[in-house]
Structure 1
Amino acid sequence: MSEGSAAAAAAAPAGEPLLRVSGVKTYYGKIVALRGVDMEVHPGEIVTLIGANGAGKSTLMMTICGSPQAREGTITYDGLDITQMPTHEITRMSIAQSPEGRRIFPRMTVMENLQMGASITDMTHFDKDLKRVFELFPILAKRKGQRGGTLSGGEQQMLAIARALMSRPKLLLLDEPSLGLAPLVVKQIFEIIHELNTNEGLTVFLVEQNAYHALKLAHRGYVMVNGLITMSGTGRELLARDDVKAAYLEGGAH
């Protein structure tokens, strides 16, 4: 077991994880993007993955969702092997992703975007879920008839998260939710993630370049360098490490 794997095992809580990534290698053609990744997310946790741009963080998120698929290793979710499952099947298993760059439907209205999120599972609880996301993101209620592409960057990010929540996920995957946003909006979004976890017990796996905010929020964190997990621990432990401060927290404490 590598130093990173041993640390991960020590830091992870007891019991079966909701998501387990074991020895995962992912390639783009002949280029190795992930070089044997091991990590776990347990029910009710917020787990964050930090690292420099290009470290492989988003590739891991996309590999969990089945595109690209892992060439080696296994990914299990809720006890099931999803390593070779197609993306559309994974999204029906109570896993929802808010991808990097938001990727809302810009020509659709806010309401239509939310309907698309709900349609992944079923529309039975649509009204109740709509009320819930409008309480979390009041600005979206005001913008419900507006096209997604005309929203501000922060509003688009809120819509991307709200759309993911409409499918009633057990596991929410967030890829760079703070990217390109003003500090005040970042603070608001991280407060909502905390609220969802604290009040509803939502399990969250968060990929972030903003290491300070991510580690403050997370129960546990992993550090990725060149497609490998090199460190892990509680959010507080990683925040306190001098090597993490030097590499990832320079100017990050807003």
Structure 2
Amino acid sequence: MNTAVMESVTRQEAATEQPLLAIRGVETAYGKIIALRGVDLDVYRGEIVTMIGANGAGKSTLMMTICGDPRVRSGRIIYDGQDITNLPTHQIMRLGIAQSPEGRRIFPRMTVMENLQMGAALVDPAYFEDDLKRVFDLFPRLKERLGQRGGTLSGGEQQMLAIGRALMSRPKLLLLDEPSLGLAPLVVKQIFEAIRDLNRNEGLTVFLVEQNAYHALKLAHRGYVMVNGRITMSGTGMELLRREEVRAAYLEGGRR
């Protein structure tokens, strides 16, 4: 049994009482357009779980649905044993969930420090300096840009800031939506290494939505494939990497 499979089994056995995040039969729609069709998904404590799929498959819609916007039309979302299906977004985010959204969505007129302060707004101020050091250890470039406005940062620096801002809220579950989008390969490598370090060194649970299937599945303990709003495949990251249909559809026939 390879290391990824062993880690996944160990993590699931350690959390057999319940997943940290459980999605059951979730259907979401924009008006008459159904975006999610009966989605079932689990994320256990200490895991990195990824969802891959083509653009428009419904991946980002699922991420936003977890956070309460758009609303679930049917089905349930359970987080840490609590049904959050009908909670407003601000209450959901107070429960220990943080999101780094698609497109980063930092505050462009605010400095790096001010963006990080916004991320820490709901946390005991006593943790601020320690959390700031944690972010700077992960992304030293942000310390160099501390007084710079977010909108003047490079794309990679903005992504680091978006993740750093999310971490300042001390989440139990980190939602990452397309963190590699539009970034140079070297920066993508840095971002994925940071995600791996957070999980390995701190045990942070991560749910990652990505179009970059190779990097995402290589990183993840488990993965799901979404096609037209439905989960069509699941397995460990390595199992999905080896599947011919995944390689043909998302890895250019097996080439990285």
Whether TM-score is above 0.5 comes out as yes
Could you tell me whether the CA contact under 8 Å between 1:210 and 1:252 is conserved in 2? no
2:103 counterpart of 1:101: yes
User: Aligned ranges for residues 89-128 of structure 1 at < 5 Å?
Assistant: 89-128=91-130
Q: Tell me the residue number matched to 1:189.
A: 191
Other-structure match for 1:7: none
1:252 deviation in Å?
7.9
Answer whether contact 1:196 1:202 (CA < 8 A) is retained: yes
Task: Give 1:122 shift.
Answer: 3.0
Task: Indicate the residue corresponding to 2:166 in structure 1.
Answer: 164
Does the CA contact (< 8 Å) of 2:247 and 2:254 recur in 1?
Answer: no
Q: Helix, strand or coil for the counterpart of 1:111?
A: helix
TM-score if structure 1 supplies the norm length? 0.94
Q: Counterparts of 1:203-242 in structure 2 under 5 Å?
A: 203-242=205-244
* Correspondent of 2:82 among 80, 83, 96: 80
Residue type matched to 1:99 in 2?
Answer: P
2:62 to 60, 64, 72: 60
- For residues 24-76 of structure 1, give each alpha carbon's deviation from its aligned partner in whole angstroms, at most 9, with x where no partner exists: 00010111000100000000000000000000000000000000010100000
Q: Which residue of 2 aligns with 1:135?
A: 137
Q: Aligned partners of 2:251 and 2:185: how far apart in 1?
A: 15
In the alignment, what sits opposite 2:12?
Answer: 13
Within a 5 Å distance, the mapping from 1:150-161 to structure 2 comes to 150-161=152-163
Any idea what SS the aligned residue of 1:63 has?
helix
Map of 1:4 onto structure 2? none
Aligned AA (1:40): D
Distance 2:104 2:187 in 1: 15
Contact 1:50-1:207 within 8 A present in 2 as well: yes
Percentage identity across aligned positions? 77
Q: Give the CA deviation at 1:253.
A: 5.5
Consecutive unaligned residues in structure 1, runs of 5 or more: 1-9
TM-score, normalised on structure 2?
Answer: 0.93
> Could you give the per-residue CA deviations for residues 161-184 of structure 1, whole angstroms, max 9, x where no partner exists?
000000000000000000000000
Equivalent residue letter for 2:212: N
Q: Distance in 2 between matches of 1:206 and 1:73?
A: 21
Amino acid of the residue matched to residue 168 of structure 2?
Answer: M
Match of residue 202 from structure 1: 204
Give the Cα separation in 2 of the matches to 1:205 and 1:69: 19
Find the counterpart in structure 1 of residue 44 from structure 2. Answer: 42
Residue 91 of structure 1 contacts residue 120 of structure 1 at CA under 8 Å; is this kept in 2? no
The one-character-per-residue Cα deviations of 1:83-107 (angstroms, maximum 9, x if unpaired) are 0111111111110000000000000
Q: Distance in 1 between matches of 2:229 and 2:156?
A: 29
Amino acid at match of 2:205: T
The 4+ residue runs of structure 1 with deviation greater than 3 A are 251-254
In structure 1, the residue corresponding to 2:161 is in which secondary structure? helix
Deviation at 1:13, TM superposition (A): 2.7
Report what 2:4 is aligned to: none
Give the match for residue 3 of structure 1.
none
Report the 3-state secondary structure (helix = DSSP H, G, I; strand = E; otherwise coil) of the residue aligned with 2:252. coil
What root-mean-square deviation, in Å, do the aligned CA atoms of Structure 1 and Structure 2 show?
A: 1.3
Shift of 1:123: 2.1
The residue type paired with residue 164 of structure 2 is: A
Match of 2:248 in 1: 246
